[in-house]
Structure formats: C-alpha cells, structure tokens
Amino acid sequence: MKKLLLLTIGLMIVSLQSSLANNITLWDVKPDLIFIFVYALGLIYNEEKAMLMGAGLGFVSDVLSGGPLGLNLLTKGITGFASGLLGKRAINMRLSLQILVIFFITIIEVLAQAMLIGLFSRGAAPAIWIKAGFLQALYNSLFAFLFLWPLIKRLKREREWAGSLKESIHIR
C-alpha cells in the first residue's frame, strides 16, 4: 500500500513538472520538482529505493517530455542514490546545510546533463549551461526549503522518539 501511494505521488509530481511548473518559470528555468521529491525519498529510505524511484520517475519524465530518452533516468537515479547515502547522516544536518547540499547536487546534475547532451549531440554552449545550472540550483533550493522543512522536522521528531524508546528499553 505504501509503495502504491509513493508511486501515485511520484506520478502526480511528474505531471505537475510537465504542466504546472511551466507556469512558474524564471528566465526559462523551472523548479525540478522530481529532483526535490527524489532527494526527500533518499532522506526517508535507503539509497537503493531512492535510486529506483528516481530512475523510474526520470524515465517517465523522459517519455513525457519528448527530450533525449534516458537523460533524466540516469541523472534522477544518481540523485536518488546520492541522497540515499546522505540520508543516514543528513537528518542530523541543519536545514540550511541541506539546502546548500541541494544547491550543489543540482549544479552537478545540470552539468552531468550538459555533458551527456554534448556527448551525443551538439548542445548549447557551456556558459549557457552554467548559468542555467546556477539558476536551477537557486530555484530548487527555494522549493526544497518549502518542501523539506516540515519533512525534516517530522523525521527528527520520529528519530528522537525512536531513540528515547531505545533508551527506555535499555534502562529497564
């Protein structure tokens, strides 16, 4: 049931990314809602689940966008894996540090996409990709703050509760 709910939410986010996010562009850059969702999954689950969900949502996004097939599959899968690795440690980080991590991971993802596009076709000039990557990173950081703040507060509360439960079991 939980997997079906996650899949449904993921598909809703892909459709939002394809439709609604086009209305909130800033200098032809829109927030990557799939990226933020996959990052959040990495915080909650392990790297394998986040990578598979990221790759799956990336594939659906590739099919719906009409762009190069496999580009989002690869980059969103890598994002899921990286955030899953960070997930065990990242919950203890402050939200501001998480936003900084998202900023830099977004830049890395955009540069990876630029390299892949440049490898297989003639793409835009590197300066354009760097500018787009920086703007994308700023935009993702803003949206990630709005999305991750309540999630991180809840996860910290749950982990503190689980930690106090373990302590009470050990005391007895």
Output the pLDDT for position 19. Answer: 76
Output the pLDDT for position 96. Answer: 76
For 136-159, what is the mean pLDDT?
A: 75
Find the DSSP H helices in the chain: 2-18, 33-44, 47-65, 71-90, 95-120, 126-171
% of the chain surpassing 90 pLDDT: 0
Residue 16: pLDDT over 50: yes
| Greatest mean pLDDT among 80-84, 85-89, 109-113, 158-162 | 80-84
The structural domains of the chain, ordered by start, are 2-21+31-171 (1.10.1760)
How many Å apart are CA 42 and CA 53, to the nearest integer? 10
Output the pLDDT for position 88. Answer: 65
The per-residue pLDDT of the chain, averaged, comes to 76
At 122-138, the pLDDT tens digits run 655 666 667 777 877 88
How many Å apart are CA 77 and CA 148, to the nearest integer? 19
pTM (two decimals): 0.76
In this structure, of 10-19, 32-41, 148-157, the range with the lowest mean pLDDT score is 148-157
Residue 171: pLDDT over 60: no
Output the pLDDT for position 127. Answer: 63
Q: What per-residue string of b and e applies to 24-57 under the rule 16 or more CB within 10 Å gives b?
A: eeeeebbbbbbbbbbbbbbbbbebebbbbbbbbb
